[in-house]
Chain A
Amino acid sequence: MSENVWTSKSLSDRLRGAVASFGLPRLIIAGFLLLLFIMAPFVGVNFFTQITNTLNRFSWNAVMVLAMVPMVHSGCGLNFGLPLGIVSGLLGATMSIEFGFTGAMSFVMAIVLATPFAVVLGLGYGWLLNRIKGGEMMIATYVGFSAVAFMCILWLLLPFKSPNMVWGLAGKGLRTTISLEGYYDKVLANFLQVRIGDLVIPGGTILFFALLAFAMWAFLHTKTGTAMTAVGSNPTFARASGINIDKIRILSVVMSTWLAAVGILVYQQGFGFVQLYMAPFYMALPAVSAILIGGATVNKASITNVVIGTFLFQGIVTMTPTVMNSMIHMDMSEVIRIIVSNGMILYALTRKSEAIR
């Protein structure tokens, strides 16, 4: 009899261990998403269209989630200052259009033009974060917010002339939304697109993300990447091993900012529009909560976390409006999105102390 007690005890312990390692919130969200997928056909929603939508949104957002990885590794925490990178991307996008590039070339040029802004802003942002070690995430939030507010002024004042972008009547100042038709609308999504009946896979966008994700994975396996992880894991250890902590942290912030810039360009090519002014304001939160749902913590994150997290988060965001609306005829999607993203961030931040201990 005691034998039985032993095995049942260890089994429940093992189960508990499995749940703990996978993460309860992640389990709940994955279960919820699965439930939505199962319910979809019953409420008259096309299953494959839903998968297509989920994949699309995944491909738009994944790069911005990937941007979280370097700063988490270097111990700077989650990059709540993502809007800083996003405005660099927006500058690249608008300048590329202004200079008259079209088609795929405009996308390449947008990345090229955004890069110097991302690097310079990233350097400054990294320098700032090095002076407030320990309070990175709070300061980052305000850096992001003020960058957006500052750019609101600049979007009006910068001497853009392209008729596709400026206000029609005044002839100056950028519009809030700029269509990318004729520029890089769906350049990645239509490249290598796979169609199986109703299922459409944006091959190019996913491939583009895969390339960046591979580059990130590879970077983390290099000497400098290893140093970055060590700086995040124990800065004193890294310093005693002769690492220049500040330099590594700045590098991680620059990488994160650049990836955010590229990320917003990828998002725009899928979405089809450039959104200016207040649009980047809340862009950081979905990315932060996506990587947390993926199983990352404040000081550990992997590429797998990015992929799983983005898929789960975007899956919920796309599935809830269609499925829930057909069921209860009420728009719940926004409410659920906000609960999930903010709840996840809250959960992860309460676990921060645990990780440090």
Chain B
Amino acid sequence: MTENAPLLEMKGIRKDFFGNQVLTDIHLSLKEGEVLGLVGENGAGKSTLMKILFGMNVIAETGGYDGDILLNGEKVRFGSPFDALAAGIGMVHQEFSLIPGFTATENILLNREPRHKAGVVSQIFGERLETLDRKKMQDQAASAIQRMGIRIDPDMVISDMPIGHKQFTEIARELSKDQLRLLILDEPTAVLTEKEAEALLASIRGMAASGIAVIFITHRLQEILDVCDRVLVMRDGYAVQDVPAARTSIPEITKWMVGRSVDTSASARADEQLETGRVIMSISRLWVDMAGETVRDVSLDVYEGEILGIGGLAGQGKLGIPNGVMGLYEAGGSVTFDEKPIPLNQPRSCLDASIAFVSEDRRGVGLLLDESLEWNIAFPPMQIQNKFLKSYLGGLIKWRDEAAIREVTSRYVDSLQIRCTGTRQKAKELSGGNQQKVCLAKAFALEPRFLFVSEPTRGIDVGAKELVLNALKRFNREHGVTVVMISSELEELRQICDRIAIVSGGRIAGILPATRSSEEFGMLMVSQVK
């Protein structure tokens, strides 16, 4: 081992997927206890770089990579994630790899459980039959959780946990490994509420202080500035900047990431005039039975033509509101739209009343992944409003009008700048941001009078985020459509909404004009947390 060598060095990393260059000459070095922020738009190559470092199979299957990885000055080439783990690299992935029916402790120590001294059975049949030392497991898990600095219940079953705690369980699992020297966190805060994210950042600082190097991937740039020592900005497979975090700013990083400047100025309309507008939707005493997002008692008036934001911490019920009104989860209470009552638990009744919904669950609810963009965008209007159909035999046969479908799809592909090879491309082949745009196009194609948009920017990059938010704003202003947007990112709500309702403990904690300060909203968020 060479003295004073950096913990990790990556030199001239290049990678192509079937001739498509995704990484070009990436250099990276990392000292012990250093926190490196890795940022870039979706598709910039961050994930591929980390997959190379972690020895994921997909890299070897697609022809390996060029360049060297040095760990403590020694050249390594990991054939599988197991090698990487053994070398002290831990990775927390975007997707959870936890066993839902096991407790946090069991998940943290899975396959590394401390065992009792050999009993009779295991002496005969081998170590696979040794019994687990539950007491010691508790201690080890507790100490890993302690190191993380965030309190989670070690005895809670994963399937009962809010999403943030699942993320923390994953991190605790990596921390419980003694050999851990480098931890890769791939967008750990994407699913966390602001408060949880803060706790996580504090814990990252703690890890760094104890000598663990951290590579932190995130779309939230403020977090990078808060916690990282250095920032590596990637764009289109190149490392475009590698600077100390203290010497840069969010606008600068954003500019490097997208290669252009992004306008993030807030522009709420004067809210006073809207208070006197006509009530278009009135929700009263709504309850929704949605796991993890239970709505207990929500009463809310929405004015015609406004953009209403619904914010709040994760798990407090903000997502339950649109899902309940739209009939996707069991709900009770009463909803009137345009002075007519809307029967609950029937998706069709809302759609017929000209209310559309963009779900937060893009892949599960929002898209026909195996079908073309044409189908995705044209399907709801076709089924609900008989658009894009040709009638024969006096309406007996309703034939798909492919030409009209293609026409409307290409119109939205152009106006929302959906990046695709054509309108016939399958939805699953698009990136997250572009899939989100397809979901919006689907809702816009219904030409609704009222639009629910749930977490429209979750997991998409800065450029796409701006486009999505602007499209929503334009849709509201140009067509007079009332928009209710649900989001966990307060800043984004403040950017486009007229009023913001904060949900806490399954109830509306308060409604404020978007121009109020973040602190006021913050107070409401935590007011009724249970």
Q: Contact residues of A with B, CB < 8 Å?
A: 6, 9-10, 13, 218, 221-224, 226-227, 229-230, 233-234, 236-237, 239-244, 299-300
Contacts and interface: CB of A to CB of B under 8 A. Distances in A.
Q: Give the top 8 A-B pairs by smallest Cβ distance, nearest first.
A: A242-B348, A223-B398, A241-B380, A242-B351, A233-B368, A236-B365, A221-B400, A234-B368
A230 B375 contact: yes
Nearest to B361: A236
Among A218, A221, A241, the one with the most B-chain Cβ atoms within 10 Å of its Cβ is A241
B359 interface: yes
Contacts of A300: 370
B371 interface: yes
Interface in B394-433: 397-400
A234 B383 CA distance: 15
A299 B382 CA distance: 22
Contact of A234 (B357, B369, B389): B369
Contacts of B326: 240
B399 A222 contact: yes
26 contacts: A218-B399, A221-B399, A221-B400, A222-B398, A223-B400, A226-B375, A230-B379, A233-B371, A234-B367, A234-B370, A236-B328, A236-B361, A236-B365, A237-B365, A239-B347, A240-B328, A240-B347, A241-B380, A241-B383, A241-B384, A242-B348, A242-B352, A242-B380, A242-B383, A243-B383, A300-B370
Contacts of B375: 226, 230
Contacts of A6: 19
Contacts of A234: 364, 367-370
Contact of B368 (A221, A222, A230, A242): A230
A72 B500 CA distance: 46
Given A10-B19, A226-B375, A236-B364, 15 more contacts: A10-B18, A218-B397, A222-B397, A222-B399, A223-B386, A223-B398, A224-B398, A233-B368, A234-B369, A240-B359, A240-B366, A241-B347, A241-B351, A241-B379, A242-B348
A172 B369 CA distance: 57
A223 B383 contact: yes
Nearest to A13: B18
A224 B383 CA distance: 8
A20 to B, nearest CB: 14
A237 B382 contact: no
Q: Which of B357, B366, B370, B375 has the most CB of A within 10 A?
A: B370
Contacts of B328: 236, 239-240
A302 to B, nearest CB: 13
Q: Is the interface of B mostly helix, strand, loop or mixed?
A: mixed
A309 B134 CA distance: 57
Contacts of A230: 368, 371, 375, 379
Contacts of B364: 234, 236
Interface string B336-371: 000000000001100110000101010011111111
Contacts of B397: 218, 222
A254 B470 CA distance: 47
A163 to B, nearest CB: 45
A240 B365 contact: yes
A222 B402 CA distance: 11
Contacts of B351: 241-242
Interface in B216-241: none
A226 B400 contact: yes
Contacts of A9: 18-19
Interface string B53-95: 0000000000000000000000000000000000000000000
> Of A224, A227, A233, A244, which is in contact with the most chain B CB atoms at under 10 Å from its CB?
A233
Nearest to A299: B370
A239 B379 CA distance: 12
Contacts of B399: 218, 221-222
A223 B365 contact: no
Contacts of A239: 328, 347
Contact of A242 (B361, B384, B389, B400): B384
Given A10-B18, A233-B370, A239-B328, A223 B352 contact: no
A243 B379 CA distance: 11
A237 B367 contact: yes
Contacts of B398: 222-224
B347 to A, nearest CB: 5
Contacts of A229: 371
Contacts of A227: 383
B383 A222 contact: no
Interface in B477-499: none
A10 B63 CA distance: 12
Contacts of A244: 348
Contacts of A226: 375, 379, 382-383, 400
| Among A10, A230, A239, residue most surrounded by chain B Cβ atoms (within 10 Å) | A230
A218 B18 CA distance: 39
Contacts of B370: 233-234, 299-300
A234 B368 CA distance: 6
Contacts of B383: 223, 226-227, 241-243
A222 B397 CA distance: 7
Contacts of A241: 347, 351, 379-380, 383-384
Nearest to A220: B400
Contacts of B368: 230, 233-234, 237
Contacts of A13: 18
A244 B326 CA distance: 14
B367 A223 contact: no
B216 to A, nearest CB: 29
A55 B5 CA distance: 75
Interface centre among A234, A237, A244 (most CB of B within 10 A): A237
Nearest to B328: A240
Contacts of A237: 365-368, 379
B184 to A, nearest CB: 24
A199 B298 CA distance: 76
Contacts of B18: 9-10, 13
Contacts of A236: 328, 361, 364-365
A240 B327 CA distance: 8
Nearest to B364: A236
A243 to B, nearest CB: 6
A243 B382 CA distance: 11
Nearest to B363: A234
Contacts of A223: 382-383, 386, 389, 398, 400
A221 to B, nearest CB: 5
B172 to A, nearest CB: 28
Contacts of A218: 397, 399
A234 B369 CA distance: 8
A8 to B, nearest CB: 12
Contacts of B371: 229-230, 233
B393 to A, nearest CB: 11
B386 to A, nearest CB: 7
A243 B351 CA distance: 10
B241 to A, nearest CB: 30
Interface string B267-296: 000000000000000000000000000000
A14 to B, nearest CB: 10
Contacts of B352: 242
A236 B328 CA distance: 9
